[in-house]
Structure formats: structure tokens, C-alpha cells
Amino acid sequence: MPKLGMEPLRKKALMDAALRTIGQQGSLNVTMSDIAREAGVSAALAHHYFGSKQQLLLETIRSLLRALHHDAVAALGQSSGPRARLSAIVRVSFQSNQFTNETVAAWLAFYVEAQRSHQMRRLLVIYNRRLRSNIVDSLNRLCPPDDAARIAEGAAALIDGLYIRHSLQAAPLGISAAPALVENYFDTQLKPFVDAKPSIRIL
């Protein structure tokens, strides 16, 4: 009989092993046995907990999304003002733990798999909607709604594009420069609205 409380620990170990295995092979073409071996458990136990490799992979990406969401909520909670909240979103999007070899390989593999898997595509759509929603929420306090939606689309595309370029080592600039590029985009797009605000005369 398994020890009480071991299931969550073993599930996490298997999800961590899935990330490492995907990172080592650079694709989702891994077997349940490969993942179980990396986790130090039997393939039968892996099947017992997740049922199939597809379910294990889905739970693995859910764990990545939960961690990203947790970090975003924490960063937003520590930020005062809409512009500071935008900076918090940028900072979390490019934090170092998003750029480990395993995490990068997993994200790229998941995006490829989303072309075939409805469930995987749905999870990535949720991520994109959450990112856009967080950006729009802050922008709505800085500019009109139509402009907020337009700027948010550009920012989300810039964040994803920079992540992919850096993950593929196709960017000429280091990862530390990526947040500055997005910050500059926000400043440039918001400048007309900042300049348009009436100044306050102190008599």
C-alpha cells in the first residue's frame, strides 16, 4: 500500500521528470517509461497516477501555468498604480525560472502539440487570455478602452515573440534586454495619453 500523502509528491516528481525528459529530448516524443525512469518510479505507477502520457503532459503544462499565475498574482499584489502593474507583468514574463532549458523546451513542445491537441490548445488559449486580461486591466486606467485593447495585443505579441526568439537563441540581445524593450513599447504607446493630461497649476 502506498504511504499516506505520497501521491501528491509522486505526481509532482513525475511532472518534474516530464519537464526534464522533454528538455533532454527537445520534443514530446518521450514515453511514459522514459518519464517514470527519470522520476525513479515504475511505468505502472506513472500510469496509475495519470492514466496516460497525454494526461501527464496536460498536468505538467497546468503546473507551469499555475506557477506563472501564482508569480503574476504575487507581483501584481506588490505593485501600486497601473504603470507599476504593467512593469510587474513584464518582469514575471521574463523571470529567470522561465528560461531553464527544461522549461523552454516544454513551452516550445507544448505550442507544437497545441496544433494537434484541443486540450493543449485550450490551456494555451487560457494563458494568452490571462496575460492579455492583466495587461488590459492596467491599461484601461491609463488610456481609452479601444487603445488599451490595441496596446495590449501588441504587448502580448511582443512578450511571446521575445520569449520564443530568446528560447531559440535567435535574439542578438541578452535576455536582460527583453523587459526593457517591452517597457519602451509601453512608454511609447502611452506617451500621447500622458502628454494629453491637463497640467495642474499651483497658485
pLDDT digits (tens, 9 = 90+) for 111-158: 888 888 898 899 889 989 999 999 999 999 999 999 999 999 999 999
In one-letter notation, the amino acid at residue 81 is: G
Q: Give the rounded percent of residues in the chain with a pLDDT score beyond 70.
A: 91
The predicted structure's pLDDT at residue 88: 95
pLDDT digits (tens, 9 = 90+) for 7-27: 888 999 999 999 889 888 877
Q: What is the pTM of this model?
A: 0.81
- For residues 172-185, average pLDDT: 83
Which domains does the chain show, CATH number per domain? 6-190 (1.10.357.10)
* List of residues 6+ apart from 150 with CB closer than 8 A: none
Q: How far apart are CA 80 and CA 194, in angstroms?
A: 18
